[in-house]
A and B are shown apart, each in its own frame.
Chain A
Amino acid sequence: MENLIALLVAAPLLGAAVLLCGGRRLDRAGHWVGTLLAAASFVIGVVLFLDMLGKGAEDRALHQKLFSWIPVEGFQADVAFQLDQLSMTFVLLITGVGTLIHIYSIGYMAHDERRRRFFGYLNLFLAAMLILVIADNYLLLYVGWEGVGLASYLLIGFWQHKPSAATAAKKAFLVNRVGDMGLSIAIMLMFTTFGTFAFGPVLGATGQTSEGKLTAIGLMLLLAACGKSAQVPLQSWLGDAMEGPTPVSALIHAATMVTAGVYLIVRSGAIFNAAPDAQLAVVVVGAVTLLFGAIVGCAKDDIKKALAGSTMSQIGYMILAAGLGPIGYVFAIMHLVTHGFFKAGLFLGAGSVMHGMNDEVDMRKFGGLRTYMPVTFITFGLGYLAIIGFPGLSGFFSKDKIIEAAFAKGGAEGWILGSVALLGAAITAFYMTRVMLLTFFGEKRWQPDAQGNEPHPHESPKSMTIPMIILAFGSVFAGGLFSIGDRFLNWLEPVTGHSHGHAPVSAATVTAATMVVLVIGVAIAWAMYGRKPVPVVAPRGSLLTRAARRDLLQDDFNHVVLVRGGEHLTRSLVYVDHTLVDGVVNGTAASMGGLSGRLRKLQNGYARSYAVSMFGGTAVVIAATLLMRAV
């Protein structure tokens, strides 16, 4: 069984190689190759999963060493994979949702002449993401981490002819570099602290290590997670990343890659458990981002950017849960999986709407689409109910658990975190209802565009609707399947550990409170967008609305603080370089040149002066030799 693990990665990697190197010959069949190899990886994942289910909880983890990567004295790095319950969960999510989105893309990208390349990048992404989650050491994880960053960059900028897409790709790459630096520094710290990168020895040795070092490693890991998972303060790239094709937004920027930060923190749980300060930083980041993303999501009229804000907010929930320690690890992952279903479904629905509306993204120009796109409406609606936490659907179970866990943290911290999580649930209900109402209800508000083409909303082809339907099933049933009988808890507990904490209020109270804020959120949205007609041009709005439309001034902040500051720093460095460094260098060169010119004059062409030089030289040599003996 171990030997199958490498095949998980090999299949999409082969696909990427074939599709990207194969050339135009593969244009007609390329998307099928990519989809089949993604599906093959999923099938292997399922086989491994069934095998794992058949074993006892303690011997489920599989290990496969492919080869010694960097075998140097005192520095051993292997290409080795480890498949335990945590990795298995991710493998199924990545390959499952990945395969569905491959299928969806066949229809969505049908008219794009670079479709083969698109599928090549998607396969490359799958391979990198799988390496990330099944690596058995941090160094190989870093390979996957950079690999998904590359795939993300390539896919955000896939429509590189649009300057906005090219800029967005660059922005995502740059912001991610900051996080990647965090991860690389964390890995270096690990090496100096533990002398190895492998999960087992590193995480097993946290007991014998000083808390200061662990805190430093933990904070660097958190920085990495912030970059990849778009958490405050490295959140600014995710909204712009929506410039990529919608399947990319669904797969990479909603369901899988952006959750890599959560994986990293949960995987490194032992480090955070032993470093309470780092853990506190994690919950702060999670709580702040949770509200940040939700507020941004309320103000956006671009359907994909509204969903992006929501993604940020939901990942904030996961990071919050992961920061709670053993109380929250399992629920972070559970929310991650259910979120993977419903958010991917919502994005695919958004893509389906855009597909029918000439790629329009402004929700103020939608309206009343439920009759034109019934399948999209129903699947999107189920995803909507799941994300706001409608009782019985996936989001209800997973989000509720996180809110409970936040309260269970105990003390003032627990109350603050629990309240923030509850507030976030209310805002979630508000902005998702707003999206739903603006898109599918009310009057139709679309108009002919500048060229006079009026959109003709229509249902999308089967290749697009079927993945949406399957994901809708996941949105509805996954939460119940996981939670009833604590199946998911029992599955993951051997890896992540679990504790119940000290809940100050009963679970039923929390659930009731969640229901109340849910209703309030939906009601406000209905009052604002359901009862009265929606203006096609957005009203000026309050100060907060305007700030939220500008992503709560994140870019302005970055520009003033980082860009301007960076420019000043660069300019002063350039000045120093030009005057001081160049001065020394050029001065040396000039003085050498001058010396050369002067020495050259000694070579005057007269044999007599050459002879004098020889004579003098001999005299000096003899004198020096005698002098050496004398002293």
Chain B
Amino acid sequence: MSATAVHSLWTMAGGVTSAAPAEKFKAPVIEYAQLTPVLIVIGVAVVGVLVEAFVPRRARYYTQVFLTVVALAAAFAAVIGLAAGGYGTTKAHIAAMGAIAIDGPTLFLQGTILLTSLVAVFTFAERRLDPAAHGNHVDSFAAQAASVPGSDSEKAAVRAGFTTTEVFPLVLFSVAGMLVFPAANDLLTLFVALEVFSLPLYLLCAVARRKRLMSQEAAVKYFLLGAFSSAFLLFGIALLYGYAGSVSYATIANVVDGSVTRIDPALADTMGNDALLLIGGAMILTGLLFKVGAVPFHMWTPDVYQGAPTPVTGFMAAATKVAAFGALLRLLYVVLPGLAWDWRPVMWAVAIVTMLGGAIVAITQTDIKRLLAYSSIAHAGFILAGVIATTPDGISSVLFYLGAYSFVTVGAFAVVTLVRDAGGEATHLSKWAGLGRRSPLVAAVFAVFLLAFAGIPLTSGFSGKFAVFKAAADGGAGGLVVVGVISSAIAAFFYIRVIVLMFFSEPKADGPTVAVPSPLTMTTIGVGVAVTLVLGLAPQYFLDLASQAGVFVR
């Protein structure tokens, strides 16, 4: 089977092909209707900024929460509308002058990101977990992000009852970037989307109400390393442009295939130079692997997950992963399939060290948030195994896995916000001892999430893992599956250890209490459990959906 024929398994010809150099200037054609999900989110985010400027402080919280929820719900409705209109299947095409691909994976991932964000935003809005300060309800975010931790200005801000309601527009900006990221159909759009969703995340990491220094440290680290990885990505883009004379995915793919041989005179020295292609492709991969948290680009993950406010961690862990894997899939399946023989061995190695590294280092973790961070690294490895399959099943299994995993993650971090002592969230594992005795319901819910992470049957974790491993095995990556199963066994140890700790250890006298949340967090956790069980018990409908959606437009 030639590279082109393999390629045609998971891509199809789109309505607009590569933009041939225009003879004369044409007005850009933008299909606004098909971009509505992104436009709604970004529009409301801008409105949110205006709200911060003009709405009285007391009304801002409610206004922002309302706007954010409505925006995300409306955007999700728009995604459903597009999918119902056939844009995921028959009408899939390249929109916005070749910048955005509207196809099955795009819509599936956008829907997943929007639903996950919607559920996660409820935990942002939660104001009942911490005791009220000076008669004001407080949420997880600093009273005034700009004030120095422990300073008088901070105390004054707390007394005045300030809250950082800017987090809501920030989340919306970030979501907008994530929506574009897996849909990006040229390298520049990819980069812009990356920055659009990353910058708000750096900020969000820094605004924790408790343990502010740690939060700020995490934000700085995240920003530094994120900027570093963006540099790799950008350099890779430059090299690929030098190789193909274009940043459009389709054109690069055609040049790689050899179906386009026309040399741009301005780039006559570099075009067609395979070294540029390989180095550039590897650097772009590096940038994306940083975002998904694959070893050895994972080191920011534990520190940032631990330091960021827990609602942000949940949002980031779920939604970022979905967006980044979406972009990775499109890059590998649309742009670089012709290079599969080159990138597959490297990705094999990355997947193996990611699975094993995440699972092994998680064994000795003592902080629940760091534990979940390493768990997310191991899961990135499992998803990579599906990515490497390079079959249509590989795409759909990864889509399904992302959907299943993101809800478990958001739910698990939402539970972490509930277990508190005098210093805020009690994240040290020793404090979770005997939780099942005192709060059986919360502990049982967390146990469900842990079992889903571990991939125990009847949970979504099992369906997802089964799907990616099966795709990987069918795609000739049987060795990866063996490593994956071994890593799952290692990972099961630390998941089960937490369950044992919660249910079979004596509670500590000075142990944490479980805060009674408002219906907001309850909704988050409830949806998390429901999705986990539904995808575990009756996954077939969603597997079919993912399989239908698993065709990229080219």
Question: How far apart sit A607 and B296, CA to CA, in the bound complex (Å)?
Answer: 14
Cβ-defined contact, B282 with A614, below 8 A: no
Residue numbers in A under 8 Å from B297 (CB-CB): 613-614, 617-618
CA distance A194 to B302 in the complex (A): 62
B228 touches A614 (CB 8 A): yes
The number of chain B residues with a CB under 8 A from chain A is: 40
B391–chain A nearest beta-carbon distance, Å: 21
User: A603-B302, A625-B343 in contact; A618/B286 too (CB < 8 A)?
Assistant: yes
Which residues of chain A are within 8 angstroms of B350 by Cβ–Cβ distance? 621
CA distance A278 to B94 in the complex (A): 80
Residues of A with C-beta under 8 A to B202: none
Q: How far is the CA of A168 from the CA of B364 in the complex (A)?
A: 52
Interface residues of B in 180-229 (CB under 8 A from A): 220-221, 224-225, 228-229
Q: How far is the CB of A611 from chain B (nearest CB, A)?
A: 6
A208-260 with Cβ < 8 A to chain B: none
- Note all chain A residues with C-beta closer than 8 A to B349: 624
Least CB distance from B280 to A in Å reads 10
Residues of A within 8 A of B300 (CB): 610
* A621 x B286 contact (CB < 8 A): yes
Contacts of B485 in A (CB 8 A): none
Interchain CB contact under 8 A, A626 and B299:
no
Whether A622 contacts B225 in the complex (CB less than 8 A), given A596-B364, A617-B297, comes out as: no
Q: Which residues of A contact B282 (CB under 8 A)?
A: 618, 621-622, 625
1/0 per position for A591-623, CB-CB distance to B under 8 A?
011011101101101010111011111101110
The verdict on A621 contacting B346 (CB below 8 Å), with A626-B275, A626-B279 known, is: yes
Contact A603 B299 (CB under 8 A): yes
Residue B268, interface by CB 8 Å: no
Nearest B residue to A589 via CB reads B493
Q: List, in ascending order, chain B residues with CB within 8 A of A615's CB.
A: 228
Of A597, A611, A614, A624, chain B has the most CB atoms within 10 Å of the CB of A614
Determine if A625 and B225 form an interchain contact, defined as CB atoms under 8 angstroms apart: no
Residues from chain A with Cβ under 8 Å of B362 in the complex: 596
Beta-carbon contact of B357 and A599 below 8 Å = yes
B283 touches A614 (CB 8 A): no
Q: What chain B residues lie within 8 Å of A618 (beta carbons)?
A: 232, 282-283, 286, 297
A609 vs B224: C-alpha distance when bound (angstroms): 12
Determine the distance from Cα of A599 to Cα of B296 in the docked complex, in whole angstroms: 12
A613: chain B residues at CB < 8 Å are: 296-297, 299
Whether a CB of chain A sits under 8 angstroms from the CB of B360 is yes
Take A599-B360, A607-B224, A617-B296 as given contacts and tell me if A628 and B345 are in contact as well, using a CB distance cutoff of 8 Å: yes
B303 touches A (CB below 8 Å) = yes
CB <8 Å contact, A625 and B364: no
Judging by beta carbons under 8 Å apart, are A593 and B364 in contact?
A: yes
Contact A625 to B286, CB < 8 A, known contacts A607-B221, A610-B299, A614-B296: no
Most buried by A among B232, B275, B282, B493: B282
C-alpha gap A589/B220 in the complex (Å): 36
Tell me, in angstroms, the Cα distance from A624 to B364 when the chains sit together.
31
A531 at the interface (CB under 8 A from B): no
Report the minimum CB–CB distance from B400 to chain A (whole Å). Answer: 27
A532 at the interface (CB under 8 A from B): no
Chain B residues with CB below 8 A from A602, complex form: 299
Q: In the complex, which of the residues A589, A620, A621 has the most CB atoms of chain B within 10 Å of its own CB atom?
A: A621
B125: Cβ under 8 A from any A Cβ: no
Tell me whether B285 is interfacial, beta carbon within 8 Å: yes
Q: Mark B331-362, 1 if CB is under 8 A from A, else 0.
A: 00000000001110110011000000100111
B10 adjacent to chain A (CB < 8 Å): no
State which residues 261-311 of B face A: CB under 8 Å: 274-275, 278-279, 281-283, 285-286, 290, 295-297, 299-300, 302-303
Give the size of the chain A interface in residues (CB under 8 angstroms).
29
| Contact (Cβ within 8 A) A625 B224 | no
| Chain B residues within an 8 Å CB radius of A592 | 360, 363, 490, 493
Contact check, A610 vs B221: say whether CB atoms are below 8 A apart.
yes
Residue of B nearest to A614 (CB): B297
* A364 to B212 alpha-carbon distance, docked (Å): 93
**Chain A contact surface mostly:** helix
Residues of A within 8 A of B281 (CB): 625
Q: Is there contact, CB below 8 Å, between A629 and B278?
A: yes
Q: When the two chains form their complex, are residues A614 and B225 in contact, meaning their CB atoms are under 8 A apart?
A: yes
Contact of B364 among A597, A605, A607, A610 (CB under 8 A): A597
A605 vs B278: C-alpha distance in the bound complex, in angstroms? 32
Question: In the complex, are the beta carbons of B279 and A622 less than 8 A apart?
Answer: yes
Chain B residue numbers with a CB within 8 Å of A611 are 224-225, 228
Give Cα A620 to B349, complex, Å: 11
A609 to B295, CA, bound (A): 14
When chains A and B are docked, how far (Å) is the Cα of A595 from the Cα of B359? 11
By the criterion CB–CB under 8 Å, are A625 and B342 in contact? yes
Smallest beta-carbon distance A599→chain B, Å? 5
Q: For the complex, give the distance between the alpha carbons of A593 and B364 in Å.
A: 7
Q: A596–B361 contact, CB under 8 A?
A: yes
Chain B residues near A625 (CB, 8 Å)? Answer: 278-279, 281-282, 342-343, 346
Q: Is the CB–CB distance between A617 and B221 below 8 Å?
A: no
Q: What B residues does A599 contact at CB under 8 A?
A: 357, 360-361
Query: Closest approach, in angstroms, between the C-beta of A209 and any C-beta of chain B?
Result: 42
B363–A593 touching, CB < 8 Å: yes
Please report the C-alpha to C-alpha distance between residue A626 and residue B349 in the assembled complex, in whole angstroms: 15
On whether the beta carbons of B296 and A595 are closer than 8 Å, the reply is: no
Of A603, A605, A614, A620, which contacts B229 at CB under 8 A? A614
Chain A contacts for B279, CB-based, 8 A: 622, 625-626
Query: Known contacts A611-B225, A617-B286; is A626 also within 8 Å of B360 by CB?
Result: no
A595 partner residues in chain B, CB cutoff 8 A: 360
Q: Quick one: closest B residue to A608, CB to CB?
A: B224
Would you call B360 and A629 a contact (CB within 8 A)?
no
Separation of A605 and B346 alpha carbons in the complex (Å) = 27
C-alpha gap A620/B281 in the complex (Å): 13
Q: How far is the CA of A556 from the CA of B290 in the complex (A)?
A: 73
A603 / chain B contacts, CB cutoff of 8 Å: 299, 302-303, 361
Query: Quick check: A628 and B275 within 8 Å, CB to CB?
Result: no
A616–B353 CA distance with the chains assembled, in angstroms: 14
The 8 Å CB contact of A607, one of B220, B357, B365, is: B220
| A615 CA / B297 CA spacing, docked (Å) | 9
A629 to B349, CA, bound (A): 16
A53 to B290, CA, bound (A): 87
Tell me which residues across on chain A come within 8 A of B342, comparing CB atoms: 625, 628-629
A327 to B364: give the CA distance in the assembly, Å. Answer: 76
Query: Closest Cβ of chain A: how far from B228's Cβ, in Å?
Result: 6
CA distance A620 to B294 in the complex (A): 14
* A596–B285 CB distance below 8 A: no
In the assembled complex, which residues on chain A have CB atoms less than 8 Å from the CB atom of B364?
593, 596-597, 600
Q: A605-B303, A611-B224, A614-B299 are in contact. Are A628 and B341 (CB under 8 A)?
A: yes
Query: Which residue of chain B is the closest to A616 with respect to CB atoms?
Result: B296
Report the minimum CB–CB distance from B236 to chain A (whole Å): 10
Known pairs A611-B228, A626-B278; A621 contacts B221 (CB<8 A): no
A624 adjacent to B296 (CB under 8 Å): no
Chain B nearest CB, measured from A426 CB (Å): 66
- Some 15 contacts from A to B, beta carbons below 8 A apart, are A596-B361, A596-B364, A600-B361, A603-B299, A605-B303, A610-B299, A614-B225, A614-B286, A617-B296, A620-B296, A622-B279, A622-B283, A625-B343, A625-B346, A628-B342
Q: Which residues of B contact A (CB under 8 A)?
A: 220-221, 224-225, 228-229, 232, 274-275, 278-279, 281-283, 285-286, 290, 295-297, 299-300, 302-303, 341-343, 345-346, 349-350, 357, 360-365, 490, 493
Given A603-B302, A603-B303, A617-B295: 20 more A-B contacts, CB < 8 Å: A593-B363, A596-B361, A597-B364, A599-B360, A605-B303, A607-B225, A610-B299, A611-B228, A613-B296, A613-B299, A614-B225, A615-B228, A617-B286, A618-B286, A621-B282, A621-B285, A622-B283, A625-B342, A626-B278, A629-B278
Q: What is A's interface to B at a CB cutoff of 8 Å?
A: 589, 592-593, 595-597, 599-600, 602-603, 605, 607, 609-611, 613-618, 620-622, 624-626, 628-629
Identify the 4 closest CB pairs spanning chains A and B, nearest first.
A617-B296, A610-B299, A596-B363, A596-B364
